Structures are given as structure tokens and as C-alpha cells.
Chain A
């Protein structure tokens, strides 16, 4: 026995076998013995997959890299298949996932070669369109290939298997994060580049100046009113939405019945209504008061007022109050749903505890249920505020440059309106503010970020106050 072992040690088996089969070179050695071959071939597999990921990424960013797609796919197919082939040689069964990945990669390689001719033609445009398909295809297959390779390298235990799924899970996340990063970087870089502190302190206005007999418009450039306007919209919208939202939530959770069903249905439908429809409705409501002159309470409330360059006051195209009232329609269902969820999450024995102390439903609601759901309500409010501040579609029908300041009955304006106006060339705004487009976007971004940070802090505070030191429920 021992002599046999010694002998084996003296001449490594794979080499021995390679010699037997008359082959030479690394591949021959690797293919000759599955046990040794396995590991190295799996490493090769992993390398090919990583290469595929790199090429895939490059293809998405730069069309020129597209020529590498087919070779990368072919290499992936080969390297994924190699360990399986080696295993097969020593009589082990082929595993299906290996074959699937290898075959798909091979097919994809052929497709990558044929796609431009067949689908788009072989010219430059064809390649541009094509890389949008081949890039993700290569990335996806490489992710599966990497997962496969990792599993081979790490062995086939359960934890190794878990770890090996990582590339497949991570790829879409990485792509999404990269997309966010790209947008964020563009806004920050261009925004900081075009930023000017005076934007924060100056409101946009136009003046009529007479120079040598001819009247001419001059403009003061700034975003002060837009910033204040956005903040005001958020504040007023929250104000308008909180009571109906909480009330609807209480109805849905606490008073089941016809009324609750109607509310549930209407809030659900409200969620489904396009923001453009809400905006168009706002426009219609504003239009309905168009016969009224400035100074009429209804007109001032709905249309707001607007001072022209000659200092004359006109009815505007929609006040902050109108805009917020319609934005609130978007926020109410969010608050309602979250309030309902919060109330439903209250343990039954706490409700019974309250009732058993001889307290009325109203008291329980005020002292126990609503504070418990407070976290949810505040979350709803903040999510709603973020949603409202991003729902330009509602106010773009009725907003204007807003050079009159931000009293609730003034014509509405906001940061996202400024973005919209410059992007779509609305005069005279675009002539004066186009250079500050990214600065505007950056401000909007910072504002949202600020809101979110406040949300986090408030949530912590409230959580500590109502849930005590134990995390109940």
C-alpha cells in the first residue's frame, strides 16, 4: 500500500496522465485530471466573466468598445464550458446551469456578430443601437458566469453557493447606482459651475426702461422667489393635506363601513389619476374665474395677482393656494394609506387596554392610536412633500415667473417651474435664466436632500418618544 502511495507522490498524477495520453502543455495537464483542473479552470472562468463585465461596462459608455462584445462572449462560453468538459472526461455528470450559461453565451456571441446586419444594417447607427442591446446582454451573462466561476472556485458548500449568487444580485444594483451617480455628478458639477450666491438673494424681475425714446425690458436674474415658492408650496400642501389625509386613514381603519369603502376607493383612484389630469383641472378651475377682476376675493384666492412692468395689478394664472390645494390631492392618499397602516399595526391588546380603562373611542384615538401612528403619518407627510415638490406637472399649467413675491395669493412660482421654463424655452425666462439651469437643478436637489434629512431626524425623535426603549411592534 504505502509503496503505491509513494510512487504516486513521486510522479504527480495529472502529469502522469498527460504523459499517458501523449499531450503536453498546461491545458493538457488541466484537462487530464479533473480534480486539479477544476480549480484552475474555474479561476479561468471567473477571469473571463470579470473581463466580460468590464467589456460590458465599456460598451455601455463607449460605442467603440462594441467590437469586443462578440469575442468576450465567445471567451465566456469557452471558459464556462471548460470545467464541465473536464469533469465529463472523468465521468462526472454535466451540470445543467453550466451548459445553459455556456450555450447562451455562445448564441449571444453569434447574435452580437449578426445583429447589426440583420436588424440595423452594418453602419455606424447600427452599432450605436446595437450596443444598447449587446452591452446589457454581455453584462448579464458575465454576471451569471462570474457566479458560476465563484461557485467553482469556492467549492460547492451552501455558504459558497450563497456567496456565488452575489454577482447576479449586485449587477443590477451597481448599474442603477451608476446611473444615479452619473446624474448626480452631472447636476453637482454643472450646478456648482454655474452657481452664484446672488441667485439665492435676488428675485427674478423684469423692468421696462426707456432709453432714447425706445422702451426696453431689462431683467434682474435670481432664484429667491423660486426657492421660497417651492418651500411655500411644500408647507401649504402639507397643511391642506394633513387633516383630510389623517381623517381618511382613520375612517378606513377604525370605522369600517360604506363610508370607509368609498374613501378607500376614491383615494386609490386619486393615486391612479395622472398628475397631468390634476394640473389640467387646476387650469380649468383657474379659467372658470377668469371673468373676475383682480381684487375680487375669489379671483385673488384662485388666480392670485400679478403686477406687470407698468405696475398695474392683474389677476394671475393661479395662486399658491390653488397650486397647493391641487398638490394636496396627490398627498392625501399617501397620508391616508400610511395612517391606515399605522393604525392597523396597533396590537389588539393595547386597544383593548385603552377601552377597558373606560375611555371613549375619541380619547383612545387622540391619546393612543394617533400617537402610535404618528410615525407613519409624519412619514406620509414627508413622502408626500417630496412627491409634491417633484410634481411639476400639476403647477406648470398655472405657474409663472412670479416676480411679485410669494404671498399665498400671488401667482405661483417654484424651482421646478424655473427648470421647466428654461428647458422648454418659455420667454422671457429662458433668455435670462438658461445659464443657471444646472444651478437650479442643484438647488432643487439640495432642497429634497434637506427634506429627507429632516425626515430622518424627525422619525428618530418620534420613534424614541412613542415607542420607548423597546421596539414594540
Chain B
């Protein structure tokens, strides 16, 4: 997947100001940056959840395997690009029904259900915890377990890309650890784009890292490289302390450019 010159605005407020981002197949790409810099908006553009927001306008190019995402049937795009949300949002139904929700929508053969159920729950590192209670309500699970069911639910539909928006934001350390295990387990089979505020986590799980600031990618590269020798001062500051005291020069200038430019 990749974006070229991606611009997104809510009404007249431009939130993404030209994003060029390659997303490597089978790798984990982490998006970091201060709150409000546009990380969630970027993720939602990748599977066109932005279509649901009537004020949201998107321009620029987003492609998956060279195909134009904006020209596709959005439902078909979302089958290839799944999403895990910041807050666990399991459906009010059994664990089994949750995991098979997307699968059943595609009319796959019933014979595969049991297999898909188990394999996706295993990949989400929650199989052992729920295998004896698959028909209980998913709402009875803890927040951490619910989030992993959400991951399993997304994996079950075997998308090519899995988007994760701060999936660990509302979880305890143990759950976060299991979550990371899950991400490492699926690396290779799925392309993962993860937004996180947890910088050590980004370091641990990602292959590539993009630092966003005020609607732009300030720096993008291999994670190891960015942590070792960031080109921008702001990146270094953010990765070390999570704060940016001196805004990146290029972006301040860019921010002054009118929206229409």
C-alpha cells in the first residue's frame, strides 16, 4: 500500500497536508506523533472509513497493490484493509459470532468456520483464554481480552493489511504485552500499520516508523535507523521524550501555505 500527496480535510480544516507514505508488504509500520497530528485520520483514509464522515474530503492517491483505493467498492477495499480501533468494540454477541461476523458476510463455506475461528483466536493470542467459553457474550470479557477478540475478528476475514489505532491505549501492561505478541505473531502474514503513543512499543514491534507532525510526515524510515540517528531534531526529541519543543522547520513553513496550495 502507499499514499501519494494525500490531503484530507474536515470541512475547511486541512488535517493531512500531503502525505507520501509507502507501507511495506508483510511488515509492521508504526505511526507516531503528538495528539491531533492526524494519525487516526490517516488510518481511516486507508480503508475509507472517512467515507462515513460527511464533512471529510480526501484528495491525492492511495493504492493497494497498485490499484486505486478511491475507485474501488469501499466494501471490497475494507475486506482487504481491516481495522482495529482504539477502544475495544466487540459486538453484543457471543465470542464465536464476533469472530465470524465478517467471515459470514462473505459467504465462505460453513465447513471452514471452526478452523477460521480457532486459527484467528490463536493468532490474536487469546485462544487458550476463551476456547471453553466461545458461546458466551464477548462483553463478559475484560478490556484486554475484548481487544484481542477484535484483532481476531479482523484477522478472521484474512485482510492483506491490518490497521491498528492505538490498540493498547486502554489496556493494562499484561494485555499490552499479549497484544504485542500477537502483532509479532502475524508479522509476515499480514501488513500491519499501527498508531501508538507508546514509543518503546513502536521500537519493539515495528519495522518502519513514520513520525507525523501537524499533518505531515516529518520523517520516515526503518525503525532501527530512526531511533539510532534521526535526521530531524523534532524526531529525536519526540522519540526520546514524547515532546516536541522546537517544531520541525520544514513543517512550520509548510503550515503557512494556504489550504488550496
Contacts and interface: CB of A to CB of B under 8 A. Distances in A.
Contacts of B150: 353
A363 interface: yes
Contacts, number: 85
B91 A360 contact: no
A101 to B, nearest CB: 52
Contacts of B104: 367
B105 interface: yes
B130 interface: no
A363 B139 contact: no
Interface stretch (A36-44, A79-87, A464-472): A464-472
Contacts of B136: 468-469
Contact of B137 (A349, A355, A470): A470
A466 B102 contact: no
B137 A468 contact: yes
A350 interface: yes
Interface in A427-473: 466-470, 472
A93 interface: no
A213 interface: no
A357 B140 contact: no
Contacts of A347: 89
Nearest to A356: B83
Contact of A352 (B49, B106, B159): B49
B85 interface: yes
Interface residues of A, number: 24
Contact of A357 (B76, B77, B92, B102): B102
Interface in B128-167: 136-140, 150, 153-154, 157, 159
A315 B47 CA distance: 63
B78 interface: yes
Given A357-B153, A468-B92, A352 B105 contact: no
A371 B101 CA distance: 14
A358 B105 CA distance: 8
Contacts of A368: 91, 101
A206 interface: no
Contacts of A352: 49, 52, 85, 89
A159 interface: no
Contacts of B77: 358
A253 interface: no
B89 A350 contact: yes
A355 B78 contact: yes
B75 interface: yes
Interface in B7-62: 47, 49, 52
Interface string A334-375: 000000000000010111111111111001000110011000
B122 interface: no
Contacts of A357: 78, 82, 101-102, 105, 153-154, 157
A454 B159 CA distance: 45
A367 B137 contact: no
A294 B14 CA distance: 72
Nearest to B156: A357
Interface of A: 347, 349-360, 363, 367-368, 371-372, 466-470, 472
Contacts of B153: 357
Given A347-B89, A466-B92, A467-B92, A356 B137 contact: no
6 residue pairs, one from A and one from B, having the closest CB atoms: A468-B137, A358-B79, A357-B102, A468-B139, A358-B78, A470-B139
Interface of B: 47, 49, 52, 75-80, 82-83, 85, 87, 89-93, 101-102, 104-106, 136-140, 150, 153-154, 157, 159
22 contacts: A347-B89, A349-B85, A350-B91, A352-B85, A353-B85, A353-B150, A355-B49, A355-B78, A357-B101, A357-B157, A358-B79, A358-B80, A358-B106, A359-B101, A359-B102, A359-B105, A360-B75, A367-B101, A367-B104, A371-B93, A466-B92, A468-B138
B48 to A, nearest CB: 9
Contacts of B92: 350, 371-372, 466-468, 472
Nearest to B104: A367
A357 B89 CA distance: 12
Contacts of B93: 371, 466, 468
B103 to A, nearest CB: 9
Nearest to A351: B52
Most buried by B among A357, A372, A467: A357
A469 B82 CA distance: 28
Contacts of A360: 75, 105
B78 A356 contact: yes
Nearest to A470: B139
B76 A468 contact: no
Contacts of A367: 101, 104-105
Nearest to B77: A358
B101 A468 contact: no
Contact of A472 (B79, B139, B159): B139
B79 A354 contact: no
Contacts of A350: 89, 91-92
Given A360-B105, A468-B138, A354 B91 contact: yes
Nearest to A358: B79
Contact of B75 (A353, A359, A372, A468): A359
A358 B82 CA distance: 8
A469 B139 contact: yes
A125 to B, nearest CB: 63
Nearest to B138: A468
A98 B83 CA distance: 65
Contacts of B138: 468
A390 B75 CA distance: 47
Nearest to B76: A358
A34 B45 CA distance: 76
Given A349-B87, A350-B89, A356 B101 contact: no
B87 A356 contact: no
